[in-house]
Chain A
């Protein structure tokens, strides 16, 4: 494994992608869980599939198209749910399926052999290109900067946005920032675990962290660590057993959650005696 990392640039890219995505997942995943935006994030992820298809059709880097669609979906969902009398859930459902439908249409319309979409749907961290790596580096830096720079107000927004409205703070501004960051995170995750599995990697590490801490900043830090462990382990397993990386990472995460849950239960039992 170490030889592979030293010798092959695809392994180095994979490792960097895994580390960056763990950092992003820890931060954004915690926010998604606390603000109960899990299905919203799923909607954004699936909408990005339309952009990926469009990328193929226009002959540009598909992930750029996916990113554009994800951000547009985030902005649209926030805007429409404020104006129209439609449940957010319904809106998310529409974006979710329309994104997938557009993706399939665009890919069918793309001349030549249809590209293999499995790596976008289920992730393939071993094929991360350097363009992609630069993109996720930039996005990860932006997310880290915004979260650390605005941590207190974002925490306030997550806990009680009504109160910020009363104080005359432009809550919508933070809402847009947050949703755009979720879109960014989703795009970062696409190559790692794929559109369909994104939600798992965004939610499982924070869920594990939440078992052991009740401070927002600590949950974020612990889920970053958990994310790093599960994605590197997933990468190792997938390399040695020649199995799909995305699915492996998810299975490792879920198993970790179960172990953490049982461990916590046991610990509490010990303490209560």
Chain B
């Protein structure tokens, strides 16, 4: 099993609030993983800890050496009036190079950003200020930015929240295409429409449970609560709990 990321006994506390408690997870290479769970259950915290935005209180995150991470934050978290254009945001993907003194964007970077914008169907919008974009368009801009430095794993936080159904499907299909080469971890509420694309589902509610679509027989290991939650979220979906991730623990 080629594993990109291993999360071991991860605990994250915000002051006295337990956001995550002893979460274990292994993300396989080229897996399409959906992270789901109730509001305030720690989904976004888990994603942010994986990409390095939140420090674990306990436990650890192991990332395969040389693995490049791409991160697509919630597009609603941006100040839309910020004076920048689509193209500039996409080029921010190469922020590491932009740290050099008097950095000028290379021709090759412009070319690459153009390819990505064309791929995502936002090339026509490249000179628009970001405040003039729709939610779906902004989401694509953020995906393009994440793709700028050829990530091996793309972590996305609610990429389809408050986006119309058609654009949503467009984004899912796009991710499906990207998934041929890349690992994708997606935090989402939109379980039903997303389900056909996922390899596995990770349910986080402070503690965590890991399901895989391929096997069914381990469902009985779920506690009754989790079984109910699962049934509610994925009627008829086959599940599997990996033994090594079995950390069903009531808090």
User: When the two chains form their complex, are residues A149 and B82 in contact, meaning their CB atoms are under 8 A apart?
Assistant: no
Q: Which of A34, A153, A216 is B103 in contact with, Cβ under 8 Å?
A: A153
**Are A168 and B52 in contact, with the CB atoms below 8 A?**
yes
Interface size on A, residues (CB 8 A): 27
Residues of B within 8 A of A148 (CB): 102
Residues of A within 8 A of B95 (CB): 152-153, 156, 163-164, 167, 169
Residue from B69, B99, B105 whose CB has the most chain A CB atoms within 10 Å: B99
Contacts of A169 in B (CB 8 A): 95-96, 99
Contact A216 B102 (CB under 8 A): no
Interface residue SS majority, chain A: helix
Query: B50-91: which have CB < 8 Å to A?
Result: 51-53, 69, 71, 73, 78-79, 82-85, 88-89, 91
Which residues 81-134 of B have a CB within 8 angstroms of A? 82-85, 88-89, 91-92, 95-96, 98-99, 101-103, 105, 129, 131
A81 at the interface (CB under 8 A from B): no
Contact of A163 among B85, B91, B92, B129 (CB under 8 A): B92
Indicate if the CB atoms of B101 and A150 lie closer than 8 Å: yes
In the complex the two chains form, is A215's CB within 8 Å of B83's CB?
Answer: yes
- B190-205: CB near A (< 8 Å → 1, else 0) gives 0000000000000000
Partner of A156, one of B52, B53, B98, B101: B98
The distance in angstroms between the C-alpha atoms of A159 and B93, with both chains bound, is 13
Cβ A215 vs Cβ B84 within 8 A? yes
User: Do B73 and A163 touch across chains, with their CB atoms under 8 A apart?
Assistant: yes
Per-position 1/0 for A146-177, Cβ under 8 A of B: 00111011011011101111111100000000
Given contact pairs A166-B51, A169-B96, A216-B83, A160 touches B88 in the complex (Cβ within 8 A):
no
A149-B101, A155-B88 as given contacts; A213 in contact with B149, CB under 8 Å: no
A155 and B98 CA atoms in complex are apart in Å by 10
Q: Which of B156-215 contact A (CB under 8 A)?
A: none
Residues of A within 8 A of B15 (CB): 85
In the bound assembly, the distance between CA atoms of A14 and B163 in angstroms comes to 55
Q: Please tell me if A214 contacts chain B, counting CB pairs below 8 Å.
A: yes
CB neighbours of A34 from chain B (8 A) = 79, 82-83
A215 to B129, CA, bound (A): 8
Which residues of chain A come closer than 8 Å to B102, judged between CB atoms? 148-149
Whether B43 is near chain A, meaning CB under 8 Å from some CB there, is no
Q: A160 with B78: in contact, given A85-B15, A214-B83, A216-B83 (CB under 8 Å)? A: yes
Which A residues are CB-close (under 8 A) to B101?
Answer: 149-150
B140 within 8 A of A: no
Q: Are A162 and B73 in contact (CB under 8 A)?
A: yes
Q: Is B145 an interface residue (CB 8 A)?
A: yes
Question: Complex: how many Å from CA A168 to CA B99?
Answer: 12
Roughly how many angstroms separate A153 CA and B69 CA in the complex, as a whole number? 19
Which B215-233 residues sit within 8 Å CB-CB of chain A?
none
Interfacial chain B residues near A198, Cβ < 8 Å: none
Residues from chain B with Cβ under 8 Å of A166 in the complex:
51-53, 69, 71
Query: Could you tell me the distance in whole angstroms from the C-beta of B75 to the nearest C-beta in chain A?
Result: 11
Contacts A148-B102, A159-B84, A214-B131 given; 7 further ones with Cβ under 8 A? A155-B84, A159-B92, A160-B78, A162-B71, A163-B73, A169-B96, A210-B83
**Interface CB pairs A-B, < 8 A, 14:** A148-B102, A149-B101, A150-B101, A152-B103, A153-B103, A155-B84, A159-B78, A163-B73, A166-B69, A169-B96, A215-B85, A216-B84, A218-B83, A219-B83
User: Which 6 pairs of residues, A with B, have the shortest CB-CB distance?
Assistant: A152-B98, A214-B129, A166-B71, A153-B98, A149-B101, A216-B83
Q: Which residues of A contact B (CB under 8 A)?
A: 34, 85, 148-150, 152-153, 155-156, 158-160, 162-169, 210, 213-216, 218-219
